[in-house]
Amino acid sequence: MGSKEQLFKYLLRLGDNALIQGHRLSEWCSRGPILEEDIALSNLALDNIGRAQAFLQYASEVEGNGHTADDLAYRRSERQYLNFLITELPTGNFAYTITKQLFIAQYDVILFEALCKSTDTTIAGIAAKAIKEARYHASHASDWCLRLGMGTALSHDLLQNEINDIWMFTGEMFEMTELDKDLVQFGISPDLTILQNIWLDKVGSVLIKSGIQLPGQGYQQTGSQQGIHTEHLGHILSEMQYLQRAYPDATW
């Protein structure tokens, strides 16, 4: 077993990734390109927010000082969030959202496959439920990559641009921090360097089929695991936390 603090921090990473990604996806609600896609994106958002609830609920139990999952979601400050930078990037255009979805959902699929075998049975249980959703998210994003990549010259160029722009935020998902090195020892979390190779294979094969060129490794952004975020997170939190800040403990 890792220490309580380590497990808590890891659960915050898992929960925050789902929470912020879910919030970004929810921004598509009523703004989708067509009704069907609007509902599809809202469904993806709900899956993520449900997953965030499960991880943050467990995090609050591990922390054990009376905080609830809602406290963790809505009452921390920016530096206390441990979501990867890629999840907080703006919604952008449809190709930008699909690119983020492809990178994140493919990551989720291989991460949750590995976490199903975690020595922490609660994490393994949540992962077993989340893996089904993640597979659907990855399939949805892959289908759209193919359509945009092999669609018109404009849709192809938009997708290629977004892939190039967002690539520098993918390396962070596979960084082996001190926390990761410790948790791997206890079999709680997987070795992310192994996951990175699987991820590159899967994402690469979708992009090749879509007629998109894979960016080189290049410079990679980092910082989220020390709580250092892009300017975008503060704006998300000001909106997301508004109700809890204005009306603490509001019920209805």
Partner 1 sequence: MATDTQLDLWEVFIQGKSGGHHMHAGSVHASDKEMALKNARDLYTRRSEGGSIWVVPSSAIISSAPDDAAMLFDPANDKIYRHPTFYVIPEGAKQI
**Near partner 1 in 86-145, by CB under 8 A:** 139-140, 143
205 near partner 1 (CB under 8 A): no
**The pair of three-digit structure tokens given for residue 91, joined into one six-digit string:** 């919604």
13 near partner 1 (CB under 8 A): no
User: Candidates 31-39, 187-195, 214-222, 237-245 — which segment interacts with partner 1 by CB under 8 A?
Assistant: 31-39
* Cα-to-chain-centroid distance, residue 197: 18
155 near partner 1 (CB under 8 A): no
43 near partner 1 (CB under 8 A): yes
Closest distance to partner 1 from the beta carbon of 76 (Å):
31
Closest distance to partner 1 from the beta carbon of 120 (Å):
29
How many residues form the binding site for partner 1 (CB under 8 A)?
Answer: 11
Closest distance to partner 1 from the beta carbon of 53 (Å):
18
Query: Which residue, 32 or 171, has its beta carbon nearer to partner 1?
Result: 32
Q: Which of 34, 153, 246, 250 binds partner 1 (CB under 8 A)?
A: 34
Query: Which residue, 101 or 225, has its beta carbon nearer to partner 1?
Result: 101
Report d(CA 232, CA 222) in Å as an integer: 15
User: Candidates 16-24, 37-45, 153-161, 213-221 — which segment interacts with partner 1 by CB under 8 A?
Assistant: 37-45
Q: Which of 1, 29, 39, 243 binds partner 1 (CB under 8 A)?
A: 39
Give the CA distances from residue 229 to residues 57, 83, 85, 181, 221, in Å, rounded to whole numbers and listed in that order: 23, 9, 6, 22, 10
214 near partner 1 (CB under 8 A): no
- Residues in contact with partner 1 by the rule CB under 8 A: 34-37, 39-40, 43, 139-140, 143, 147
